[in-house]
Amino acid sequence: MRRSRSCHADVDSDVDCDRDRDEQGSTLLLTIFYCVLGLSLIMVVVSATSLYLERKRLFTLADGTALAAAEAWSLDDVQVEGDHLSLELDDAEVGDAATSYLADAVHELHDVELVRATSADGQSATVTMRAVWYAPIHTELLPVSVPIEVTATARSVFH
């Protein structure tokens, strides 16, 4: 009985048989590697997008807080000088208005804190806020969090 061989039957038949055996193998490791690489890339993109959106949400909250703080004056504070109206913002009133706004504001941010609420020039309110971003895919063994800080300035104009 003759055995069939897949190797070529010429002078270098042993070399051809070795070459055929060397070219046989599994692509399972390569497939697993590319799957892990693809999933890692997806996790990085999802996390970066989440961080960007969380910063935008915090900035929107800080912008609203600064606007509320910039309007922390009463009509009694308005000074009339000829045909010109002016008002002076007080740091304490700005801070109180910012704190009050944050107490009523609805947000889904983590660990939000009012760092500073001041009025440097008496005309505008500057609010600095801080929050903590947590990665959407994290575990107890590898928690990923980043502190975010934004500053917003608003000016109230009285005509």
Nearest to 122 by CA among 78, 62, 75: 78
Which segments of the chain does DSSP mark as H helices, in order?
13-22, 28-70, 91-104
**pLDDT score recorded for residue 114:** 94
- Segment 123-150 shows an average pLDDT of 87
Q: What torsion do the CA atoms of 31, 36, 38, 42 make, to the nearest 10 degrees?
A: 160
Domain boundaries, the chain: 25-155
pLDDT over 90 at 4, yes or no: no
- CA angle, residues 48, 52, 58, in degrees to nearest 5: 145
Q: How many C-beta atoms lie closer than 10 Å to residue 45's C-beta? A: 10
Token pair for 72: 């922390």
- Rounded to two decimals, the pTM is 0.74
**pLDDT score recorded for residue 15:** 55
**pLDDT score recorded for residue 80:** 81
- Segment 133-139 shows an average pLDDT of 83
